[in-house]
A = this chain, B = another copy of it.
Amino acid sequence: MREAFHDELDGISQSLLQMASMVKEALGTATTALLTSDLMLAEKVIAEDIHIDNLQHDLDARSINLMARQQPVASDLRTLVTSLRMSADLERMGDLAHHVAKQARMRYPNSAVPAELTGTIEEMGRVAVAIIDKLTVVMEHRDIVRAVELETDDDEMDRLHRKLISTLLDDNWQHGVESAIDMTLLGRYYERCADHAVSIARRVYYLVTGEYNTVSND
């Protein structure tokens, strides 16, 4: 019975990894759609968000079902509770990728991103995908060294976000308020996505060490 339990627990971990992989794909594709004004790619991300949501529902149902049947204690219970939280973070990251794709679609056939910001958005997309990649390793191997590294990777995202805002505030900004609103929201989507990744990494850190490695996200 305990063995069956751990098989199911492994299955839940695998599903979390699958969610992370889907979110990475969605965010990478959304960024490409945004930067190349590719409507079909944007539509793809928008249409596929439901699969991430469904995976979350399925995963949560399995976690709760497992709690009810097996009544785990201590570290197994903590792992299951943490799974529920991670799936919520990942689902939200999927929503944010979806928002990026919707922004691309809204401005199509124009580009949502003015030329002087394509580099910054490209970097934000790249950093976000790299963060999710590293997060996957953290989740799969309970790698607390990389979990801590993600805090620094997130600093890089914050730096890019500040760079984006200062471009908007520069006297040379000639794309008006509408584009500034778009870019403010896009910047926030990438930044929040990284925040959620850091939050998941902190949960892994806590599972492994029993201690918080945290200042709260703001």
Interface of A is mostly: helix
A177 touching B185 in the complex, CB below 8 Å, given contacts A64-B77, A81-B64, A98-B218:
no
Nearest B residue (CB) for A168: B177
- Whole-angstrom distance from the CB of A145 to the nearest CB of chain B? 25
**Binary flags per residue of A143-183, CB closer than 8 Å to B gives 1, else 0:** 00000000000000000000001001100010001101100
The CA of A66 and the CA of B69, in the complex, are separated in Å by 16
* Contact in complex: A78, B98 (CB < 8 Å): no
Which of A98, A216, A217 is most buried by chain B, counting CB atoms within 10 A of its CB?
A216
A59-73 contacts to B, CB under 8 A, are: 64, 67-68, 71, 73
* Contact in complex: A95, B180 (CB < 8 Å): no
The count of residues in chain A whose C-beta lies closer than 8 Å to any C-beta of chain B is 31
The CA of A153 and the CA of B218, in the complex, are separated in Å by 27
- Whole-angstrom distance from the CB of A216 to the nearest CB of chain B? 6
Q: Which 6 A-B pairs have the closest CB atoms?
A: A71-B71, A177-B180, A184-B184, A68-B73, A181-B184, A68-B77
* Contact in complex: A216, B53 (CB < 8 Å): yes
* Contact in complex: A81, B78 (CB < 8 Å): no
A187-218 contacts to B, CB under 8 A, are: 188, 216-218
The CA of A78 and the CA of B53, in the complex, are separated in Å by 19
